[in-house]
Chains A and B, each alone.
Chain A
Amino acid sequence: MLARTADNLYWLSRYIERAEYVARILEATHRVATLPVGYAGSTNEWESALATAGCAAAFFAVYNDANEENVTEFLAFSTANSSSIRHCFEIARTNARAVRTALTMEMWDAINGAWLEIKGFGAGPRRRDEVARFLRLVQESSLRFDGSAYRTMLRNDAYWFSRLGVFMERADNTARILDVKYHLLLPALEHVGGPLDYFQWATMLRSVSALTAYHWVYRESLKPWLIADLLILNDQMPRSLASCYENLARNLDQIARAYGRQGPAQRQARAIRARLENSRMDEIFQSGLHEFINEFVADNNRLGATIARQYLM
């Protein structure tokens, strides 16, 4: 397979995954923004959304004020923001077009149809119900694309590279939300436990579509250390770091088997997976949650670079 084709498939999946993540952040933020001030807390939830999306610096280069209108525009519709939902879909579609023959008809339909609809929103609606409709559309399009890939692609390198994109991006996103919000999860805050924390935790879980999952897994009210466990170590949870790495290691192994050659990417992915498997939440808290997350982010970036060197160029 052409390295460029693999690269396109990988980034195509990454951009769709990123668009979905940004849509979830916006949806969760809109939700918390409708709460009375006393519940939402004193911090600006719109600034928090920018940080979670990893777009704060880019945003403040253009805007002074992080409010609903500006942040929604910037994260959802902006053509200047390379991580905006619109931009993600545009790039994804350009990539899809370049590798049209490596995609199934269903995948192309999903992405092309989504792009035409998203483009139809133009510079973005003002009304909240319109924004909400947009955010639903983005999430449904991502699900449709992902489902089409899962159900229609041959299980060969094209499929495995597109899966690698999904899980690299997902691991990156979950790590970023942990990085931005880790202070909410520190045991020191446990005593607060008021409605304020509840809504912040719930927003965080919604951003990675894990609120319902939390209740199913723990059958408890929200506890910060359990949230951390869910997002980092729990391999039942599709967006946890552990689950992402299980998938990364497996897909890399499939590629290695098909090509008859193991490489540094396989070794790195296995090492990170082993560390996640062998960790316990209390130990992570003891040695420092923030340090753990920082280290993970660095490892994850390193793996991304290794995959690119080994296969994509």
Chain B
Amino acid sequence: MANVMTASLGGAALFVKPPLSAPAAFDEMRGGDGAVRPAYAELASWLDGISPEGLLQRRREAELLFRRIGITFAVHGEAEAQERLIPFDVVPRILSGAEWGMLARGLEQRVRALNLFLKDVYSQREILRAGIVPEDLIFRNPLFRPEMNGQKVPHDLYVLIAGIDIVRVDAETFYVLEDNARTPSGVSYMLENREIMLRLFPDLFSRHRVAPVENYPDELLATLKSVAPASASRDPTVVLLTPGVFNSAYYEHSFLADKLGVELVEGRDLLVRDEVVFMRTTEGLKRVDVVYRRVDDDFLDPLAFRPDSLLGVPGLMSAYAAGNVTLANAVGTGIADDKAVYSYMPQILKFYLGEAPILHNVPTYCCRDVEDLAYVLDHLPELVVKEVHGSGGYGMMIGPKADRETLAAFRAKLERQPHGFIAQPTLALSTCPTCVEDGLAPRHVDLRPFVLMGRDRVRIVPGGLTRVALGPGSLVVNSSQGGGTKDTWVLDG
């Protein structure tokens, strides 16, 4: 099977089983003494009343529903039929209102800081001059866009849609694993998972006060309209730009365009005249004000970036430079989801907001730092080493699982090119009860909430996409390696 989830959900990394000496993973439903945590009380009693066969039956029904709703929408052939069949676990993952409140504050804080950082990097560069983030981390970064230097973007907002990957290690501690500030995907799974759950378990919903997520498309549209350029009309025209039907996330693109009620355009549907973007319609050319683009920077405009790109719109960057169109997200946001920049997030937050981070990074050793490098080389078998620019679990080494040759190879790489790597301790990710062949068992999970940054305010739909590692003891949430998804419930009050 193709490496689909990795492809369509971007960045997220692999996790490995902690070494034997590490403490047992935190289970989100039950404490070490077996007592059920308050948020899970109703679910636990409901689960007690249902047999393993009953649960498996529900899982089969869910699969049927996915085939009918999802598949009929999306399936385009055998290969893609498999794409949609990312396993879905019917046991929801629950967060209390208080836990979510803390997460939401932390997410908002983080995305505000990311936006201020990007604005600064592409204009005054105060953070570089203050020596807080090393210059070469920015200027030698392949995701840095010199074209954006001094370029004014509408309302100074760069990251309008962010997907922040979160992991949990104990009752109080949530870590940010990764910031996805380019074109984060997966939100269609969040929405569809909830639809399926509502159909399958109306009784379970009536016993909880689950905050709804179905207003996400509305919030997204409001966000996109709020950032329209000043020259736009009072009801700005928004489009969703897709690379086309052959893109692995095309399903999500068409799903979102449909829910937003905006045109799903390809590059060839747009053209630029006198620095204004138009789309070709049956009634002639129509002005476009906001482009929610799911096309990477490189392919946006063959005149500015890759000249061989057929996906983009010639002249789009000139319209952007003239301030006649808003691109969401802005060009050049890739430097904010770089793993090396990630390690500076606590300092970045403090620099721009004067606040301590509400959500912490996974402790990260930046191998460019001599002391950190020494520590990493000393503790290599316990650590996860990642390439700074890698994503989707590529170019990484998992110490506890690595054989001697791999360790030696990474040691050599680290010594030769320490700038290219960071290292993190292996984490004991939290677990949630999950439906497996012989009943319920704890499985490791992560979470990707979606943060919408508008001109007026920040909008975060309570929830996100929970990914679950389905193999026993596995910490790998990527669907290509046995990962699935769960509905994520945030309890209201």
Contact = CB atoms under 8 A, between A and B. Distances in A.
Interface stretch (A32-40, A92-100, A298-306): A92-100
A206 to B, nearest CB: 34
A313 B280 contact: yes
A1 B281 contact: yes
A157 to B, nearest CB: 6
B386 to A, nearest CB: 36
A244 B283 CA distance: 24
Interface string B257-295: 110000111101100000000011111000000000000
A100 B244 CA distance: 12
Contacts of B245: 94, 97-98
Given A2-B265, A97-B245, A101-B258, A259 B283 contact: yes
Contacts of B254: 100-101
Interface string B66-91: 00000011011000000000000000
Contacts of A313: 280
Interface stretch (A60-68, A104-112, A131-139, A188-196): A104-112
B72 A105 contact: yes
Contacts of A93: 76
Interface residues of A, number: 24
B257 A2 contact: no
B397 to A, nearest CB: 40
Contact of A100 (B73, B265, B280, B281): B73
B264 A3 contact: no
Contacts of A281: none
A266 B72 CA distance: 36
Contacts of B281: 1-3
Contacts of B279: 2
Interface in A266-313: 311-313
A3 B280 contact: yes
Contact of A312 (B268, B282, B283): B282
Interface residues of B, number: 20
B93 to A, nearest CB: 30
Given A109-B72, A112-B72, A112-B75, A101 B280 contact: no
A47 to B, nearest CB: 36
A101 B264 contact: yes
Contacts of A3: 269, 280-282
A163 B470 CA distance: 48
Contacts of A161: 282
Given A3-B269, A108-B73, A311 B282 contact: yes
Given A4-B266, A101-B254, A101-B264, A259 B72 contact: no
A6 interface: yes
B133 to A, nearest CB: 42
Nearest to A258: B283
Nearest to B242: A98
Given A2-B263, A3-B269, A157 B73 contact: no
Contacts of A105: 72-73
A6 B279 CA distance: 13
Contacts of A98: 244-245
Interface of A: 1-6, 93-94, 97-98, 100-101, 105, 108-109, 112, 157, 161, 255, 259, 261, 311-313
Given A109-B72, A112-B75, 4 more contacts: A2-B269, A3-B280, A4-B266, A100-B73
Among all A-B residue pairs, the 8 with the closest Cβ atoms: A101-B258, A3-B280, A311-B282, A6-B282, A1-B282, A100-B254, A259-B283, A4-B269
17 contacts: A1-B281, A2-B281, A3-B282, A4-B280, A5-B263, A6-B282, A93-B76, A97-B245, A100-B73, A100-B258, A101-B257, A101-B264, A109-B72, A112-B75, A255-B282, A259-B282, A259-B283
